[in-house]
């Protein structure tokens, strides 16, 4: 039985989203148990099905607007986020799902569960919707502002194993996000990384990809530093929201638009589903010793259940063990930073 720890208090909607999400996941998968770390007084009225669900009480929550994640994690051992992370560290649960504040989630995973000794950095890896219906893995999107070629190489190996084991991609291709497709494009770090990845064993390096390739991407994995990745991801999200708003305004602007909508209603709903981040789960935290998935802060029950589905697959595939086998040992064990 897979035991999944859930930060029930976390996210914009707290228990209103996490509890229904947990119950939905339990109803679908008979091989999981869920431990809800959260306010029992708020959880119990919502928990209409407690089969394979237990509650560990805490009314403390990590603030979604937290400005100092290191201080918050070190001083917040009794928050629902940290309690779930400590449970994973101590082997009480096999994985963690949370929709708490991103930097606090990354920092809690790093400081509590701890980084794999084979990894020098931790990466945040969401799934990016794609035109062919198969989402792409993009990393890093915010855990590290600056990275060395070796760090990106470790991310590429981790993501390659994840693409194979979690998403069933036989030969995942790795692309480096850059301002041009030619090897000589970009900053010195981009050029150096290109040639480093080209010679790296354990991955299938495609080469550079540009920003306009993202939603019709020729690779399965998009590699970048946290600065560029975060801008790229938020640009995609903002564009999708803006396009949806403009489309609604155009439909409402005329009788012809309203009539046309009636004929295209099903098509538009299918389009929205293909581009909906709630369908693919959440962002995976790569580089730590247990599977952790960070669901979007505004996740509702359905999206949160998909994040649980995602972390379940990570556990079932023995992802961490297979990544450790694929990564070379570091000469220096700096896991205790």
Q: 141 near 127, Cβ under 8 Å? A: no
Predicted pLDDT of residue 254? 84
C-alpha–C-alpha distance, residues 310 and 330, integer Å: 29
State the number of CA atoms in the 13 A half-sphere of 260 facing the CB: 11
Distances (CA, A) of 110 to 40, 114, 205, 314: 27, 5, 28, 18
Q: What are the sequence ranges of the domains in the chain?
A: 1-119+287-337, 121-279
Please say if the pLDDT value at position 270 is more than 70. no
Predicted pLDDT of residue 184? 82
Q: Which residues contact 68 (CB under 8 A, 6 or more apart)?
A: none
CATH code linked to domain 121-279: 3.40.718.10
**Could you report the per-residue pLDDT of 121-130, keeping only the tens digit for each?**
999 999 888 8
**Could you report the per-residue pLDDT of 281-330, keeping only the tens digit for each?**
689 999 999 999 999 888 889 999 999 999 999 999 999 999 998 887 65
C-alpha–C-alpha distance, residues 248 and 135, integer Å: 25
Predicted pLDDT of residue 215? 86
DSSP string, 229-290: HHHHHHHHHHHHHHHHHHHHHHHHTSHHHHHHHHHHHHHHHHHHHHT-GGGT--EEEETBSS
Please say if the pLDDT value at position 107 is more than 50. yes
Residue range 1-119+287-337 forms a domain whose CATH class is: alpha beta
pTM (2 decimals)?
A: 0.86
- Tokens 């790229």, located at residue: 232
**Sheet containing 204-209, strands listed edge to edge, beginning at the edge strand earlier in sequence:** 127-128, 136-139, 221-223, 173-177, 204-209
333 vs 100, which has greater pLDDT?
100
Predicted pLDDT of residue 206? 95
**Bridge pairing between strands 292-294 and 95-98:** parallel
**Could you report the per-residue pLDDT of 228-265, keeping only the tens digit for each?**
888 888 888 787 778 778 878 878 788 777 777 777 77
Predicted pLDDT of residue 330? 57
49 vs 240, which has greater pLDDT?
49
Distances (CA, A) of 225 to 37, 123, 250: 32, 9, 37
C-alpha–C-alpha distance, residues 233 and 141, integer Å: 7
Question: Would the CATH topology of 1-119+287-337 be identical to that of 121-279?
Answer: yes
Q: 169 near 310, Cβ under 8 Å? A: no
């Amino acid at each position: 039985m897979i035991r999944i720890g859930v930060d029930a208090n976390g996210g914009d909607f707290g228990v209103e989203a996490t509890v229904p999400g947990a119950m939905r996941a339990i109803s679908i998968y008979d091989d999981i148990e869920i431990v809800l770390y959260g306010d029992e007084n708020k959880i119990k009225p919502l928990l209409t099905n407690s089969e394979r669900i237990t509650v560990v009480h805490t009314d403390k929550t990590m603030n979604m607007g937290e400005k100092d994640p290191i201080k918050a994690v070190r001083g917040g051992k009794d928050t629902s986020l940290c309690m779930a992370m400590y449970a994973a560290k101590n082997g009480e649960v096999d994985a963690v799902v949370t929709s708490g504040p991103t930097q606090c989630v990354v920092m809690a995973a790093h400081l509590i569960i701890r980084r794999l000794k084979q990894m020098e950095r931790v990466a945040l890896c969401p799934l990016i919707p794609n035109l062919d219906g198969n989402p792409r893995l993009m990393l890093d999107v915010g855990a590290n502002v600056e990275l060395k070629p070796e760090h990106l190489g470790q991310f590429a190996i981790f993501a390659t194993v994840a693409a194979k084991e979690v998403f069933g991609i036989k030969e995942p291709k790795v692309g480096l996000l850059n301002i041009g497709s030619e090897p000589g494009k970009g900053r010195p770090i981009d050029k150096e990384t290109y040639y480093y990845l080209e010679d790296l064993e354990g991955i299938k390096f495609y080469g550079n990809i540009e920003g306009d390739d993202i939603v019709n991407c020729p690779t399965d994995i998009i590699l970048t530093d946290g600065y560029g990745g975060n801008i790229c991801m938020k640009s995609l999200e903002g564009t999708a929201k803006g396009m949806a708003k403009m489309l609604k305004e155009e439909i409402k602007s005329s009788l012809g638009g309203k009539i046309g909508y009636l004929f295209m209603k099903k098509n538009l709903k299918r389009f929205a589903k293909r581009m909906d981040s709630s369908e693919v789960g959440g962002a995976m935290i790569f580089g730590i010793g247990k599977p952790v998935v960070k669901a979007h802060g505004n996740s509702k029950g359905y999206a949160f259940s998909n994040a649980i589905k995602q972390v379940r697959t990570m556990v079932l595939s023995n992802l961490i063990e297979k990544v450790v086998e694929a990564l070379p040992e570091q000469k220096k064990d700096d896991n205790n930073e």
